[in-house]
C-alpha cells in the first residue's frame, strides 16, 4: 500500500527511514532515521526549545536596543546633554549582544515545555503580547538610565557620563537574566545555564576594565568611578531587573485572571 498521498496531505508527514519506501520518504516532511517513534517526541521538545530561545534572544536584543534609542533621543528633549558617545553605544552593542546573546541559545528547555498546547502555525514570532513586553522593558531601562544621569549631574559628579555608560550596560546584563523565563528569574534553577553566567561575568569584567584601566579610559573617554558611584550604578541596574520582574508578575496575573474569566463564562453557558 502506498502511503505517499496521505503523507503529502498531512500537516507533518512522517516516514520511516529504514523500513519506509523511497516514495514515502520523498513525500514525507520528516524522516525517522532510527525508525523509533520516541524520536518524534525528542524532536518536538528540541524544536520547542530552539523556538523559545530564539524568542528570548529577540526579546533581549530588541528591548535593550529600544532602551538605547530612547536614552539617546529623550535626554535632549528633557534638557539633558547627550548621555553617551558613539563609541559607548558600539561597545554596549558589542558586549551585551555578543556573549550573553550567544549564551541564551544554550538555555535548556523549560520543565513544562511538553505540557503546552501547540501554538498556531500562523502566529508571528513577535506577538502583540511580546511587543508590549518589549516596549515596557525598554521604557524601564531608559527611565532608569536617565534617572541616574539626572541624579549624577545634580550631585555634581564630573564622571556622570561614565555612570550612565556603566548603568546602561549593567541594566542590559540584568535583562539577559530576566528573559530566561516568563516567571521569576530564579525559576527552573538559577544555575541551569552555566554558559550564560560565564558570559555575564566576562562582560561585567570587560566593562569594569573599560572604566578602571588607563587604556579603557583613553579609548572610551571614561573616568574611574568611586566605589559609592559604582554601587549606585549596580543598585540602579538591580532596580531595573526588579521592575522587569514586577512587570512579568503583572502580566502573569492578568493572563491568569483572563483564563479564569473565560472558564467561568464557559461554565455559565452550559445548560442546567
Q: Would you give per-residue pLDDT tens digits along the chain (272 residues)?
A: 467 788 778 888 888 887 777 888 888 888 888 888 888 888 889 989 999 999 989 989 999 999 999 999 999 999 999 999 999 999 998 888 788 888 888 888 888 888 888 888 888 888 888 888 888 889 999 999 999 999 999 998 899 999 999 999 999 998 888 888 777 666 656 677 888 889 999 999 999 999 999 999 999 999 999 999 999 999 998 888 888 788 777 776 766 665 555 555 554 555 55
- Rounded CA separation 167/153 (Å): 14
Which pLDDT value is given to residue 95? 86
Give the model's pLDDT for residue 260.
58
Grid cell for residue 267: 461554565
Residue 7's pLDDT is what? 79
The pLDDT, as a whole number, for residue 190 is 65
Domain ranges, ordered by start, for the chain:
54-269
Given this model, what pLDDT does residue 258 score? Answer: 57
Q: How far apart are CA 34 and CA 37, in angstroms?
A: 9
> Is the CATH number 1.20.1110.10 carried by domain 54-269?
yes
In terms of C-beta density within 10 A (0-12 exposed, 13-18 middle, 19 or more buried), how is residue 116 classed? exposed
Residues 104/172, Cβ–Cβ less than 8 Å? no
DSSP string, 49-88: HHHHHHHHHHHHHHHHHHHHHHHHHHHHHTTPPP---HHH
Per DSSP, helices labelled H in 78-115 are 86-97, 99-104
pTM here is 0.82
CA distance 110 to 260: 24
Position 264 scores a pLDDT of 56
Amino acid at each position: 500500500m502506498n502511503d505517499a498521498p496521505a503523507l503529502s496531505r498531512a500537516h507533518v508527514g512522517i516516514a520511516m527511514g529504514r523500513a519506509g519506501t523511497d516514495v514515502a520518504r520523498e513525500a514525507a516532511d520528516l524522516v525517522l532515521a532510527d525508525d523509533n517513534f520516541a524520536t518524534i517526541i525528542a524532536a518536538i521538545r528540541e524544536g520547542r526549545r530552539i523556538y523559545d530561545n530564539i524568542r528570548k534572544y529577540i526579546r533581549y536584543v530588541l528591548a535593550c536596543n529600544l532602551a538605547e534609542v530612547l536614552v539617546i533621543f529623550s535626554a535632549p528633549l528633557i534638557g539633558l546633554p547627550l548621555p553617551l558617545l558613539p563609541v559607548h553605544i558600539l561597545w554596549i552593542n558589542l558586549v551585551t549582544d555578543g556573549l550573553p546573546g550567544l549564551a541564551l541559545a544554550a538555555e535548556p528547555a523549560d520543565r513544562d515545555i511538553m505540557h503546552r498546547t501547540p501554538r498556531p502555525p500562523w502566529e508571528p514570532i513577535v506577538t502583540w503580547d511580546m511587543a508590549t513586553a518589549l516596549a515596557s522593558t525598554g521604557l524601564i531601562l531608559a527611565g532608569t538610565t536617565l534617572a541616574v544621569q539626572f541624579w549624577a549631574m545634580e550631585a555634581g559628579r564630573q564622571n556622570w557620563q561614565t555612570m550612565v555608560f556603566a548603568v546602561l550596560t549593567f541594566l542590559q546584563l540584568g535583562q539577559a537574566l530576566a528573559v530566561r523565563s516568563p516567571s521569576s528569574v530564579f525559576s527552573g534553577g538559577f544555575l541551569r545555564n552555566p554558559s550564560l553566567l560565564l558570559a555575564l561575568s566576562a562582560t561585567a569584567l570587560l566593562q569594569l576594565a573599560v572604566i578602571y584601566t588607563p587604556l579603557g579610559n583613553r579609548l572610551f573617554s571614561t573616568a574611574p568611578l568611586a566605589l559609592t558611584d559604582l554601587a549606585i550604578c549596580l543598585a540602579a541596574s538591580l532596580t531595573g531587573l526588579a521592575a522587569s520582574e514586577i512587570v512579568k508578575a503583572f502580566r502573569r496575573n492578568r493572563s491568569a485572571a483572563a483564563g479564569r474569566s473565560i472558564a467561568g463564562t464557559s461554565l455559565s453557558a452550559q445548560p442546567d
